[in-house]
Amino acid sequence: MARALERVFVTGVGAVTPFGVGADAFWRGLAEGRSAVTPLRGPEWEAMPVRIAAQVPDFDPSAFMDGRSQRRTLRFGQFAVAACREAVRSAGLDLAAEGDEVGVVLGTAGGLFAAGEQQKLLESRGPRRVDPLFVTRYGPHMAAARVARELGLRGPNTTVNSACASGTDAIGQAFNMVRLGQAPVVLAGGSECITHPVAIASLGVVGALSQRNDEPERASRPFDRDRDGFVLGEGAGVLVLESESHARARGARPLAEILGIGWSFDAADDTAPDAEGQALAMRRAIEDAGIHPEEIDWVKAHGTSTPLNDKTETEAIRRALGRHAYRVPVSSMKSMIGHAASSSGAVEAVGAVLALEHGLVPPTINYETPDPECDLDYVPNRPRRLAVRTALLNAFGLGGQNAALVLRRVD
């Protein structure tokens, strides 16, 4: 006999963002409509065509890990531990009693670019100088593994990498684990730190990044006619996903409910986005949620601030929502915190949960000149007081992997 699907609640959130450590700092920045993009300082950036990014300021891993664990964990893993610790506190979970049942699913690219430093050591100083813990420090799987070790979690543990859709993918996979009864609680999200010279050089050469070096706070401008590329960011976002039965049994307060997940693949160009592929992910999420498109009150856009991506996403929203697309607000948090790549969907999911809780839609800042090809309501420049009940969250990965979540406020 088929088992009934569990409802899945978000009972806690944690964040490390360019606004600082903690979900409260993140929400203050979003609600104020501030830019967290700053100049990159140091000799390694002087010859770069792009010298701006949205970095996490003043992060101290010693607040979350002991010295030995810090040395064994790269920055992306440290962010993950910090965000997960906050999410657990936010949810009021007793890990001493429940750690054996708690899972971890995180999206990340790991130490993808930093790994080149070990290649240099191998070539210049020989094999004995290579980090003996290279695999356990740089591997993408080590964020989820380190979180579980630090917190004593023995539930399902896995890592997702699907480019910029990774964090949303991780939440979707965790959602399925919980509603299918495979784990009563899962820490789900993403963590990323690729503000590295190799990443910025590569993305800068192909023209993907904004080159507004003299006005960094105005560089990320999704859907604006004069957008010229995205701004690289970093950070971590984590949701505690919990089955309704488990949450009710321990008296947890739900912050939101996840209703549905939708995935698709563009099956088109290696790098250019495809509107029909993106729309398919949105339609599948709405269908999985068991709702009508007209029930969507807000779209949390992927909104990267590149000329092609924003135009394509606008068309995809029109295809997925039909005429309702012109009635629903659409906003991009990347206008304020940049694009944190693999963790962007997870960080922004934390922002979406907070938006539902506070009844305030974050703005798309730096929206100054409308683009005729981007003709929706992008919540320009100021947050909007709006009692959002149901939100659609988009995340689209470079290479064509698309994911969309439907999130609902719990009354």
Which residues are designated catalytic?
164, 302, 339
SS3 388: coil
Integer Cα distance of 210 and 310 in angstroms = 14
Q: What would the DSSP string read from start to end of 27-94?
A: HHHHHHT----EE--SGGGTT-S--EEBPPPS--GGGTS-HHHHHTS-HHHHHHHHHHHHHHHHHT--
Q: Residue 158 CB: number of other CB atoms within 10 A?
A: 16
| Beta carbons of 410 and 254 less than 8 angstroms apart | yes
CB within 8 Å of 361: residues ≥ 6 apart = 298, 329, 331, 355, 379, 383, 384, 385, 386, 388
Site of tokens 């990320």: 220
| CB neighbourhood size of 89 (10 A) | 12
Q: Give kind and range of the element (H or E) at residue 155.
A: none
Query: Helix crossing, 344-358 with 23-32: angle to 10°?
Result: 70
In the beta sheet, which residues pair with residue 112? none
- Find how far residue 395's CA is from the centre of its chain: 8
Contact by Cβ (8 Å): 110, 141: yes
Spatial separation of the C-alpha atoms in residues 206 and 214, rounded to whole Å: 20
Are 347 and 168 in contact, with CB atoms under 8 Å apart? no
What b/e string do you get for 246-275 counting C-beta neighbours within 10 Å, with b at 16 or more?
A: bbeebebebbbbbbbbbbbebeeeeeebbb
Burial class (CB in 10 A: 0-12, 13-18, 19+), 115: middle
DSSP 228-288: --B-BBEEEEEEEEEEHHHHHHHT---SEEEEEEEEEE--S-SSS--HHHHHHHHHHHHHH
